[in-house]
Structure 1
Amino acid sequence: MKGVNKGQAVAEAAVITAEYDTDYQVGQDNVKLLGLDVHNPVFGISAGLILLFIIGTLLFPAGAKEALSGAKGWSIENFDWLFMVGGNLFVVFCLALIVLPVGKIRLGGVNAKTEFSTISWFSMLFAAGMGIGLMFWSVAEPVAYYTDWYGTPLNAPAGTPEGAAMALGATMFHWGLHPWAIYAVVGLSLAFFAYNKGLPLTVRSAFYPLLGRGTWGPIGHLIDILAVLATIFGLATSLGFGAQQAAGGLNYLFGIANDLSTQVAVIIVVTGIALFSVARGMDGGVKLLSNINMIIAAGLIGLIIVIGPTLKIFGNMGTILVSYAENIIPLSNWVGREDGTWYHGWTVFYWAWWVSWSPFVGMFIARVSRGRTVREFVIAVLLVPTAVTLIWMAVMGGTAIEQATNGVGQLANGISDVSLAMFHMFENLPLTSLLSAVGIVLVLVFFITSSDSGSLVIDSITAGGKTDAPMPQRMFWASLVGIIAGTLLVGGGSEALGALQSGAVATGLPFTMVLILMCLSLYMGLKSEVHLHK
C-alpha cells in the first residue's frame, strides 16, 4: 500500500464503520414472536399486504388481473423513457466502476477473505439471476421475433437472414449487459454498506449517505416493504407459471396429464426440496444445488453443440456478438421508436421485470460476495454472465432459428406455446428423450435454487438485516412462496397468476427511481473509503 499502512487503514475503516453503527444496530428494532426474530414493522406490514392481496385475488381474480394489468400497462406506456434511461445509466455506471479508482475497494475491508470459490460464487449468482428464464426464452424469444409473433425488433424483416440476425441480437440485448447491470447495482450497494460500513444487509442500508438517520424511519420501512413484495410476488409468479410449463413438458414427453393436480404436484415437489435446501443453509443447500445446476447446464449445452448444427452454432456466436454490438444503441433508444408494439411489449416489459427482481437477486449476490473487490465483483456479475449468455443463446437460440429457417419441425410455424418451445427444438435433434429429460431436470433445479435463495433474501429483509435468523423463519418464507403460487393456481388459475405478475412488474416503476438514487448513494459511499485501499 502506498502512503497508508495496513494497520492505519484498518483503524480508519473502523472509525468510518462506527459512524454508521452509532445510528443503528442490526436487529435493534426486532421483536421475538412465536420463535421468530422479525423486524417491526416490515414483517407485519409485508405479511398483511401479502395476505390482503391473496384474499382479494382469490375473491376477484378477473378484476384483480384487470386492475393490476392496467397499472402495469400504464407504467410501461407512460414511463418507458424512465425504464430505458435507467437501464442505460446502470450499464454505464457499472462499466465506470471497473476502471475508476473505487474498483480496488474490497468488500469487507482490506483484509477480507472470500467465502466461496470463484466457480461456486458464479454458479450461485447465475442460478439465482436468470437461469430458469433462459431455459425457455432462449428458444422461444428469437423464434418469436424471426416469425413476427408479436412484432419484430426495429421492424427487421421477418423470415429473412437479416431478421434472423436481428432476432438473436435483440434477444441477447434483453438478457445481456442491461439486466446484469441492474443486479450489479443492487448487489454491490448492499454488499458495500453491509460489509464495509457495518449496516444491516437489507435494501434500505444502501441509502444511508442520502437519508442518514432517516434510513431507519418510515422511508426505510417503505423501501424494504416494496423489496419484500416485489421479491415474493416475482418468485410466486415464476413458480406458478413454471409449474404450468413443467407440467406441459411432462405431458408432451410422457403423456402425464397437464391438469391442476400435476401443476400443484410440481409446486409441492419444488417447495419441498427448497425447504430441505434452506434448512441445510448456504453451503449445504444453495451452493450445492447451484453447482449441480451449472454442471447439468454445461453438459446440456455441450451435448447440443456435439449433436446439433455444430459449425452453425459457432458461427452464431459471431453473428450474435456483431448484431448485439451493432444494435445495442438503437435498441436502447426510446425516442421516435417505430416498432412501438414490440418495444413496449418486450423491451420495456423486460426492464420493469428485471428491476422488480433486483432486490431478490441483488441481495442474494451480496450475501455471497464478501471479500471480492468492486472491480472483480462488477466483472463477474456484469461481463462474465453476459459472455455465458451469448454462448447459451448461440446454442439454444441459434439451433432454434436454424430449424425455423429450414422449415424443420413445429418451430417453422412460430411459437404456439412458450413452455413447449424448447421441447419442440429437442425433438428435431438426436437423443431427443435424453435432451428432454435433462431439460426438465434442469428446469426443476433452477426453480428450486430460485425458491431457496429468494427465501433467504426475504428472511434477511424481514429480520432487519440479520443473516442468521432462526431456521423456522427461513422455512416459513420458503413455504409461503409455494403456498401463494399453489393457492392462486387452484383458486384463480392463470388469471390470478397474471394478476400477480402484473403486480410484480408494476413495482418496477418505483424501484427504477430507487435504483437511480442507489447509484448516487453507492458512489458517495465508495468515495469515502477509496483512500483505504491503495
Structure 2
Amino acid sequence: MTDTPTPAPPLGFDEHGLEAGQDNVQIAGLDVHNPVFFISAVTIVGFVILALIFRDFAGTVLEGLRTWLTSTFDWLFMIAANIFVLFCLVVAISPLGKVRIGGIDAVPDYSYSGWFSMLFAAGMGIGLMFFGVLEPMYHFNNPPLGAAPPVVDGVLVEGAVDRARELGMAATIYHWGLHPWAIYAIVALALALAAYNKGLPLSVRSAFYPIFGEGIRGWPGHVIDTLAVFATLFGLATSLGFGASQALAGLNDLYGVPNTDMMKVLLIMGITAIALGSVVAGLDAGVKRLSEINMLLAVALMLFVIVLGPTMSIITGFFTNGFNYIKDLPALANWIGRTDESFVHGWTTFYWAWWISWSPFVGMFIARISRGRTVREFITCVLIIPTLASILWMTTFGGTALEQFLNEGYMGVQQTVVDYVPELSLFKMLADLPLASVTSFMGIVLVIVFFVTSSDSGSLVIDTITAGGKVDAPVRQRVFWAIFEGLVAIALLLGGGLAALQAGAIATGFPFAILLLLMLYATWKVLRSEPHR
C-alpha cells in the first residue's frame, strides 16, 4: 500500500498561491527577493571589506573557528554523511525509485552526455585536479586507522608499505566517492521534486514546504535561503581559491610566473572576468558548452596518463582500489573511538563540511538539469557513476604518483607532501611522464576552465535563490554574484591562505548540515505522495 497521491499544483504555484518571485522588488533594473538578496549582499560586501582591512585578525579568527568546529562537531558531520548515503541507497532500490521528476509524462531536457558533463564539472572539477595526485600520496605517508607509517626518516619500512598503499587510496576514494555525491543527491532530489512535481519555486526554501508549510514564505524561508547563499558562496570561494593557487603554481613551475599574493589576486580577477562572458551567454551556451569542453580535456589528460604511465597498474588498481574502498569503508566512516584525529578533523570533517556547503549550489544546479529522470535513474547517475569515475581518476593520478615513488624512486610528488606544497603535486607527477610541458599546460587550462564553469554555474544558482526562485532574472544580477564570488575567494586567500578557505567552508557547512537532515524527512514525504506504481 502507498499513500494516496496528491495532485501537483500548476508549475510556479502551490495550492496557496506561492509563486516564484512573488515577494520580489524591482530596483534599478534588478528583480530581487526581499529580504534575502539585501541581507546576503550586505553581509557578503561587509565580510569582504573587513577581511581585506583586517587581514591578520581575519586569518586568526578563521583558523580558530576551523579548529573548533572540526574538533567539536566531527560526530555531527560524519553521522549526517552516513545517513545521506543510506537514504539514497534505500530510496533507489525501493518502489519510490520509480517516481519521475516532473511527473509521469516528463521527458529529459538533456542527453546523458550533456547531463553528466554538467553535473560532474559542477560537482568536483577543481577539487579532483587539486587533490587527485596529492591526497593518495599524503594518506600513504600518513595512513589513517592507526596503521604504521611506511616511511621513517626517509626510508621505506618493509611490511608497512602495502597496507599504507591500500589505505592511501581507500581513504582518498572515501572522500570523493559515495558520501559527497549522496550529499549532492539529497539536495538536488529535494529541489527537483519541489519544483517540477509540486510546482514550487526553484529555491532551497521550497524543499521544506512539507515541514513548514506556508512558513517558507516568511522568516523561516528567508533564513533557509540566506544560509544557502552563504554556504554556496563560501564553498565556491574555497574551490576557486584552490584553483587559483594550483593554476599559479603551475604557471610558476612552467614559466617562472611569480607565485605571490598579488599574482593570485590578478589571476582570480582575470578568470572571473572570463567567467562573466559565460554568465552572459546563459546555461546552454555557457555552462553546458564549457562543461563538455571540461570533460573532453579531463578524459584526454586521464587517457594520456593511463597510456604513457603505469598502464597495467592503473587497470588492476581500479578494481583493487574499489574493493579496498568498500572493505575499509565501515572503519573509515565510523566516528567512535578514533585515534587518527588528524585524519578525521583535518580531512574528513573538512570534506563533509565543504561538500555540504557546496550542496545548495551543486544540488540546485543538478535539479535544474534533471527533469524527466526517474528517481532511481537520478540516484544511479548522481551517486554510483560519479563514484566509479572518482575511483578511476584517483587510481590514474594518485596511483601513478605512488608507482613513481615506490618503483622508480622518483621524489617529485613525495617532496610536495613532505614540504606540503599541495598545489604542485599534479605538475610534479606529470613532470616524470613524456610531453610534460604539454600536459602541464593542459592541466592549467583544465583548472582555469573548471574555475570558469564553477563561477558561472555558482552565480546562476545564487541568483536564482536571491531572486525568489526565478530562473529568468536580469543577467546583471548574475554578474554581481560572479564578481563577489571572486572577491570572497580573494579575501579568504589574503586573510589566511588555504586554511582560511577551509574555515569559510566549514563555518557555513555546519548550520546547513542540520538543514539537510530536516530535508531528508521532507523529501521522504514528497516521494510518498507521488505515484510510483
Q: Are residues 1:125 and 2:113 paired?
A: no
Identity of aligned residues (%): 53
- The residue type equivalent to 1:153 in the other structure is P
* C-alpha contact 1:23 1:213 (8 A) present in aligned 2: no
* C-alpha contact 1:57 1:496 (8 A) present in aligned 2: no
- The residue type equivalent to 2:411 in the other structure is G
Any residues of structure 2 matched to 1:24-63 within 5 Å, and which? 24-63=18-57
* C-alpha contact 2:8 2:199 (8 A) present in aligned 1: no
* C-alpha contact 2:88 2:182 (8 A) present in aligned 1: yes
* C-alpha contact 2:240 2:486 (8 A) present in aligned 1: yes
SS at the partner of 2:282? helix
Give the drift of 1:156: 2.0
- The residue type equivalent to 1:485 in the other structure is A
Question: Does the C-alpha gap of structure 1 residues 139 and 33 become closer, same or farther in structure 2, counting only changes over 3 Å?
Answer: same
Give the drift of 1:430: 1.2
In structure 2, the residue matched to 1:342 is 343
In structure 2, the residue matched to 1:408 is 410
- The residue type equivalent to 2:59 in the other structure is K
In structure 2, the residue matched to 1:453 is 457
In structure 2, the residue matched to 1:375 is 376
Runs of 4+ in 1 over 6 A off after TM superposition: 16-19
* C-alpha contact 1:174 1:350 (8 A) present in aligned 2: yes
Give the drift of 1:105: 1.1
- The residue type equivalent to 2:361 in the other structure is F
Q: Are residues 1:155 and 2:159 paired?
A: no
SS at the partner of 1:351? helix
Give the drift of 1:267: 1.5
In structure 1, C-alpha distance between the alignment counterparts of 2:166 and 2:185, rounded to whole Å = 28
Q: Are residues 1:473 and 2:480 paired?
A: no
Any residues of structure 2 matched to 1:103-502 within 5 Å, and which? 103-148=97-142, 152-159=143-150, 160-406=161-407, 407-413=409-415, 415=417, 416=419, 417-486=421-490, 489=493, 493-495=494-496, 498-502=499-503
* C-alpha contact 2:314 2:400 (8 A) present in aligned 1: yes
How many residues end up aligned between the 2 structures?
519
Question: Does the C-alpha gap of structure 1 residues 19 and 527 become closer, same or farther in structure 2, counting only changes over 3 Å?
Answer: farther
In structure 1, the residue matched to 2:89 is 95
In structure 1, C-alpha distance between the alignment counterparts of 2:281 and 2:12, rounded to whole Å = 33
Q: Are residues 1:70 and 2:64 paired?
A: yes
Question: Does the C-alpha gap of structure 1 residues 69 and 23 become closer, same or farther in structure 2, counting only changes over 3 Å?
Answer: farther
* C-alpha contact 2:12 2:19 (8 A) present in aligned 1: no
In structure 2, C-alpha distance between the alignment counterparts of 1:118 and 1:336, rounded to whole Å = 43
Question: Does the C-alpha gap of structure 1 residues 42 and 468 become closer, same or farther in structure 2, counting only changes over 3 Å?
Answer: same
SS at the partner of 1:195? helix
In structure 2, C-alpha distance between the alignment counterparts of 1:137 and 1:128, rounded to whole Å = 16
In structure 1, C-alpha distance between the alignment counterparts of 2:162 and 2:501, rounded to whole Å = 38
In structure 2, C-alpha distance between the alignment counterparts of 1:352 and 1:15, rounded to whole Å = 35
SS at the partner of 1:37? strand
In structure 1, C-alpha distance between the alignment counterparts of 2:285 and 2:380, rounded to whole Å = 27
- The residue type equivalent to 2:333 in the other structure is S
In structure 2, C-alpha distance between the alignment counterparts of 1:384 and 1:311, rounded to whole Å = 22
In structure 1, C-alpha distance between the alignment counterparts of 2:398 and 2:497, rounded to whole Å = 31
SS at the partner of 1:107? coil
TM-score where L is the length of structure 1:
0.93
SS at the partner of 1:198? coil
RMSD: 2.0
Give the drift of 1:437: 1.1
Give the drift of 1:236: 2.4
Question: Does the C-alpha gap of structure 1 residues 15 and 294 become closer, same or farther in structure 2, counting only changes over 3 Å?
Answer: closer
SS at the partner of 1:130? helix
Question: Does the C-alpha gap of structure 1 residues 470 and 228 become closer, same or farther in structure 2, counting only changes over 3 Å?
Answer: same
In structure 2, C-alpha distance between the alignment counterparts of 1:175 and 1:437, rounded to whole Å = 25
After superposition, what is the alpha-carbon deviation per residue over 1:419-475, rounded to whole angstroms, capped at 9, x for unaligned? 000011011111111211111111111111110000000000000001111111122
* C-alpha contact 1:107 1:371 (8 A) present in aligned 2: yes
* C-alpha contact 2:405 2:414 (8 A) present in aligned 1: yes
In structure 2, C-alpha distance between the alignment counterparts of 1:161 and 1:138, rounded to whole Å = 20
Give the drift of 1:113: 1.7
- The residue type equivalent to 1:441 in the other structure is V
- The residue type equivalent to 2:483 in the other structure is S
Structure 2: gaps (5+ residues): 151-160
In structure 2, C-alpha distance between the alignment counterparts of 1:234 and 1:368, rounded to whole Å = 21
- The residue type equivalent to 1:279 in the other structure is V
After superposition, what is the alpha-carbon deviation per residue over 1:170-204, rounded to whole angstroms, capped at 9, x for unaligned? 10000000000000000000011011111111111
Give the drift of 1:23: 4.3
Question: Does the C-alpha gap of structure 1 residues 431 and 77 become closer, same or farther in structure 2, counting only changes over 3 Å?
Answer: same
Give the drift of 1:264: 2.8
TM-score where L is the length of structure 2:
0.94
In structure 2, C-alpha distance between the alignment counterparts of 1:265 and 1:57, rounded to whole Å = 18
Structure 1: gaps (5+ residues): none
Give the drift of 1:500: 4.9
In structure 1, C-alpha distance between the alignment counterparts of 2:326 and 2:255, rounded to whole Å = 42
In structure 1, C-alpha distance between the alignment counterparts of 2:373 and 2:19, rounded to whole Å = 24
* C-alpha contact 1:409 1:428 (8 A) present in aligned 2: no
Give the drift of 1:220: 1.1
Question: Does the C-alpha gap of structure 1 residues 496 and 51 become closer, same or farther in structure 2, counting only changes over 3 Å?
Answer: farther
